[in-house]
Amino acid sequence: MVQITELDMLIRLGLGFFAGAVIGIERSSRRQIAGLRTHILIATGATLLMLLSIWLPQEFQSMKNGDPGRIAAQVVSGIGFLGAGAIIRLGNNIKGLTTAASLWLIAAVGMTIGAGMFLAAGVALVIILVTLIVLGKFEKRFFPSERNKLLEITFKSNNPDYQETLHILQSFGIRILSMDVDQGIGKGKEKRRGTRLRLFVGVADHTDIATLVKALKSNGKIERLEMKEKY
């Protein structure tokens, strides 16, 4: 059985630090909650625990039931708690899933380095970078993320023509998920002429809201317009 020397441990811990730093820098550049320091600590910690898993049976050869995979299995389970902490729910919108996945995968890279599988760890590191950087740009270009919002449009007329408004929304890539119409604004004696259109919409992150509002108000039929997060 190949013995792990102190030099091997230092090299592997250094590589674990490097792997965590590479992915951590990418996540920090995108202002994610789990950034540089978090990824470094997870990758280095996973490397250290994998080294410990291998070293214990090597050092205490009298341990007949020594299993190098036992600690590694606990690392895989435990990293889920950190991943869950990186996920944020904002109303109907969820952020942090990619960072949670990168935490889980960088822990796997750290354990792989700790086990001495440098080629596999290197390939995995390249795959992570390609996924986060190259495929990230591809995903934003063709499958932009969006937020769910409640759009309320008040028209001056009781029987407005919605088609132009809906056409403008669709031209900006707004997905209309549901629509509700109220004719006459207010209640009882305070009820006055007008129509309120409530739209539950999906708005892409790159949408220019100011230009959208200007386009909607350009026809002069809209009295009031309000857009807010849907909770």
The residue assigned the tokens 């207010």 is 186
Q: Are 28 and 35 in contact (CB under 8 A)?
A: yes
Q: Please give the backbone phi and psi of residue 222, each rounded to the nearest 5 degrees, phi first.
A: -95, 130
In this predicted structure, what is the pLDDT of residue 201?
87
146-229 domain in CATH 3.40.50.300? Answer: no
Specify the amino acid at residue 120: A
For 231, the token pair is 């909770």
Under the phi-then-psi rule, with left for phi > 0, alpha for psi from -120 to 50, and beta for the rest, what region is 211? Answer: alpha
Domain range annotation of the chain: 6-142, 146-229
Q: Are 113 and 17 in contact (CB under 8 A)?
A: no
3-state SS class at 145: coil
DSSP 220: S
Is the full-model pTM beyond 0.75? no
3-state SS class at 193: strand
Q: Which residues have C-beta within 8 Å of that of residue 39, sequence separation ≥ 6? A: 20, 21, 23, 24, 27, 102, 103, 106
Task: State how far the Cα of 128 lies from the Cα of 117, in Å rounded to an integer.
Answer: 17
In order of 48, 107, 109, 168, 173, the CA distances from 163 in angstroms are: 63, 52, 54, 9, 15
Angle at 28 between CA 26 and CA 34, to 5 degrees: 110
CA end-to-end span of the chain = 59
**β partners of residue 151:** 199, 227
Q: Are 47 and 114 in contact (CB under 8 A)?
A: yes
The pLDDT tens digits along the chain (231 residues) read 567 888 988 999 999 999 999 999 988 888 777 788 889 989 998 998 888 888 877 776 665 565 666 777 778 778 877 777 777 665 555 677 788 888 888 999 998 998 888 998 999 999 999 888 888 888 777 766 777 888 888 887 777 777 888 888 888 888 888 888 877 665 555 556 678 888 888 888 778 888 888 888 887 778 888 887 765
